[in-house]
Structure 1
Amino acid sequence: MEPVTTHSNHDEPAAASPIWPWVVIETLTSPDETTVVLDGASPRAFSRLNRTSVARASATAARMLGPLVAECASMSKPRDKYFPLRDDQLRRMMTIPVLGPSGHVHAVAVWVGGVEEPLPRTPIIGAIEWSVKGLAVANPAAQYLFRAPQGDLLTGHTIPEMLAAFDIWPDRPGFLSLFNLENLDVAADQWSGTATLHYDNPTDTHELFIAARAVGTGPNRVVRAVVTDITGTQNPGHADLTLVAVRAMPITPGHAVALADLKTGFIHEWLTSSPSSPLAAWRHHNPEFDDNSKLDVVQTCFALATGVRDTATHEVRVRFDPADDWIPLLAKWTLIGGGDRPQALIDVTPLAPISAPMVTGCRMCQDMANRNNAPHQ
């Protein structure tokens, strides 16, 4: 803890006994590039540090804030300093780093209070990182906020697997734009938005705020995000009616229905006739295509995204692990939305029996196979 030297014209006290909330400052790109994503209970979409409640309450705190956050993020350790107000009472600025799953500091939580005041409980701050292929890894706080299955630390989760947990994700197109294919559109550098999900029962609704930035280029590009619970601070977003309709569609047994974002090539919804369908486990893995199939898929995404055609049908071969056999599929594509974010609905039919478990060595696939093979009462 280090004292801060100040000028004689000390700040006016914010109140006789100020109570300042936690402020969450993202450091997703680097410790020197910081913005505010949460101020107390209120989300902030990459706001400047001088707009925080801390900076507005004290000019000295405003001067300290940026350097102390950068020091905390660079060292990956809590840091604090003191400063006086006009009443000569010392205030303490406390900073706590939020580590991401790969060791990068995703955010710094900041609190200011009296020297004798106990440190209040920090907000639950999740940290997630996606690869360029859309595979997610996360810290335990994000696992808790996303209500991942017990024992599953969101390691290698796919985009459709993650999004399936949410009832409402109003700006799904904006989120997906972080992963745009270079030949179809420029990928976005940042995105923030809300998402709604239920926890233990249908009435236990929670609103999460997510702020994400992309770092790097090509195969080294990653998307890092900070997640916080803002339940009760604003009205939940409106449901995407197209998505609601797709999730309610009847699906023929032995088939699967996928919703594809054509500018990324990502499947972001994967639906089957029942949770016990062998195809349900495919949502847990990104497919690998053989060379000819990969070319077919890329050309189909481009043709539908650019309006060259509205439908496409082809056979492709996929697998989900290099040790497994190729699986032949029939895929029927239908363009269902154009404009800035074209989407396609895909009817998928395996042309060969599906093995169980689908991916050898995958615990989730094995659990699903065991449930399907269990004797029915």
Structure 2
Amino acid sequence: MTTADDALSPSAGNMPTHHPRRPKPPHTQPSPRARHQSVHGHAQKSNASPADMPRHRSDVRDQQQRISPARRQWVVVETLSAGTRPSVIVDGSYRRHFANVNRVSIATSAAVARRLQPVVDHCAISGQSQLDIVQLPSGTALRIVAVPVIGPDGRVYGVGLWTGAMHEATPPIPPIGTIEWTAHTGTARTSLALEHLLGVPATKRVSERTLPDLMARFDRCDDRINLLALFDPSHPVGSWTGTAATRFTDTGRRHLYIAARTASHQGAARIIRGIVCDISDIAPPPAADLGSMTWRHVPTKPGHAVGIVDINTWLIHEWITVDHPMLNSWLHQSPELHPDDTTALASARTQVLDTGQAMRNFRLRFRGQLRWLQVRAEWTRMSNDDRPQALMDAFPCPPISIPLPPVAP
């Protein structure tokens, strides 16, 4: 195995592909109908019936020729957690749920299957593209190309795998983005590749997004409930896969396949890493979710903001604001809560679970602000299943006017 900066280029030049002539079908005894037609001339003999044609190409022996279409497709392997073995999430045209690396379509022989895991490991450790040559028992040589997928923190979150003959040009790797969440805040760091997949213009791309800001980029997110379970400190889920469709932008809509794993279990510092693959070419984006689109256009009261809260984690994952200079910041930043108000918010969460409603006043401030903003919020439980959700209506409290004592004459 060698590290190759030119691993994405053909290693044997632009050699023409040899297409052998199709051999004639093996000789068989002509049917009675065929013998009858032979007396009518050569023109009729050239129009053979399908029933008289051979059922299969029994003379084809070249395994390389049969599997070449599969080899032209990329396999995406996730390396999100150091505590788990790398696994397959995309195999050409198919989505996989953390599948075995040795059982992918490009593992066309035992010799190739044995080399895939070492190539992935070398690519993940080095952070560089890898090129491996495999000699098959037939004498044919295959190239295995591995390309690292880098996360926002500089780690390798995944590896793209491709195999092909020595003369075949390596196709471009499909777009792949990466993301890293901090579990207790829901704040995510995103790669530039993911910002591009989300359709964010270059002038508006950021390296950090809140959970509601990220969700606002989608007009459909399937299995969101189980995605939120990744952030639950009481019942954390170790892994998740799901699909999402981006909202229409100048670049259109995209269909994304997302795989995520819990990468660290150190209490509040728990980290969740994800890899995002564009599958639009193999599965066009489904229609937008009507419920989400309706929800995002619900009018709010003047000066109010409305959000959906996952009660178990107390994370806001949908947010609607009016043109309020303070509450609008909540979409893009996780506010700092006043230390003296954390107990009141904890009791509000318990009350919502017990009675279905709660109301509290609390103070918060955003990055770069010195003064605390007094906010009043009302929570109404919408569901009470394993992942109960609540509607939150928040608005800044009006300043309290304290009457001055009367002035003595």
Partner Cα separation in structure 2 for residue 277 and residue 303 of structure 1: 30
Does residue 22 (structure 1) correspond to residue 74 (structure 2)? The answer is yes
CA distance in 2, matches of 1:310, 1:99: 44
In the alignment, which of 77, 89, 99 is matched to residue 140 of structure 2? Answer: 89
Q: Is 1:13 aligned to residue 59 of structure 2?
A: no
- Among all aligned residue pairs of Structure 1 and Structure 2, give the percentage whose two residues are the same amino acid: 34
Q: Distance in 2 between matches of 1:240 and 1:304?
A: 27
Distance 1:271 1:331, change over 3 A: same
Match of 1:220 among 269, 282, 291: 269
Find the counterpart in structure 2 of residue 180 from structure 1.
232
Q: Is 2:321 the counterpart of 1:272?
A: yes
* C-alpha distance 181-243 of structure 1, shift in aligned 2 (>3 A): farther
Matched, 1:158 2:210: yes
* TM-aligned CA distance change 1:232 to 1:193, over 3 Å: same
Q: Name which of 119, 132, 143 aligns with 2:195.
A: 143
Task: Give ranges in structure 1 of 5+ residues lacking alignment.
Answer: 3-10, 354-377
CA contact (8 A) 1:327 1:352 kept: no
Counterpart of 2:329 in structure 1 is 281
- Compare 227-236 and 112-121 and name the one that shifted more: 227-236
TM-score (norm 2): 0.77
AA aligned to 2:68 is P
Identify which range, 133-142 or 156-165, moves more after superposition.
133-142
Contact 1:73–1:108 (CA under 8 A) maintained in structure 2? yes
Q: 1:205 to 1:147 in 2, by over 3 A?
A: closer
User: Pick from 279, 294, 319: which aligns with 1:230?
Assistant: 279
Offset from partner CA, 1:251-299 (integer Å, 9 cap, x none): 011111111111111111110235x765323200101111232222222
Counterpart of 2:170 in structure 1 is 119
* Alignment partners' CA distance in 1, 2:262 and 2:83: 15
Distance 2:240 2:384 in 1: 21
In our comparison, the structure showing a higher alpha carbon Rg is 2
- The letter for the 2-side match of 1:198 is R
After alignment, is 106-115 or 27-36 more displaced? Answer: 27-36
Contact 2:348–2:360 under 8 Å retained in 1: no
User: Is the Cα–Cα contact under 8 Å of residues 256 and 270 in structure 1 kept in the other structure?
Assistant: yes
* Structure 1 residues 242 and 296, CA gap change in structure 2 (3 angstroms): farther
Alignment partner, residue 346 of structure 2:
298
Give the direction of change, closer, same or farther, for the CA distance of 1:45–1:319 in structure 2 (3 Å limit).
same
Letter in 1 for 2:222: P
Please list the CA deviations of residues 66-90 of structure 1 after superposition, one character each: whole Å capped at 9, or x if unmatched.
1110111011111111112344121
Q: Which residue of 2 aligns with 1:192?
A: 241
Give CA-to-partner distance per residue, 1:292-346, whole Å, 9 cap, x none: 32222222223323xx111111111111126421000111111111101111111
Please give the residue correspondences for 1:197-216 in structure 2 after superposition, counting only pairs within 5 Å: 197-200=246-249, 204-216=252-264
Q: Structure 1 residues 314-323 or 14-23, which shifts more?
A: 14-23
- 1:53 is aligned to 105
Cα shift readout 1:109-137 (whole Å, capped 9, x = no counterpart):
01100112222111111111111221111
Query: Contact 1:27–1:73 at 8 Å: present in 2 too?
Result: yes
Q: 1:104 aligns with which of 134, 155, 164?
A: 155
Amino acid at match of 2:313: T
Q: Please say if residues 251 and 272 of structure 1, whose CA atoms lie closer than 8 Å, have aligned partners that are also in contact.
A: yes
Aligned mates of 2:233, 2:398 — CA distance in 1? 31
Aligned pairs for 1:295-334 within 5 A? 295-305=343-353, 308-321=354-367, 323-334=369-380
Q: 1:32 to 1:251 in 2, by over 3 A?
A: closer
2:384 is matched by which residue type in structure 1? Answer: G
Aligned match of 2:119:
68
Structure 1 equivalent of residue 179 of structure 2? 128
Provide the aligned C-alpha RMSD in A: 2.3
Question: 1:240 deviation in Å?
Answer: 5.7
CA contact (8 A) 2:152 2:189 kept: yes
CA shift for structure 1 position 144:
0.7
| Conserved? CA contact 1:178–1:214, under 8 Å | yes
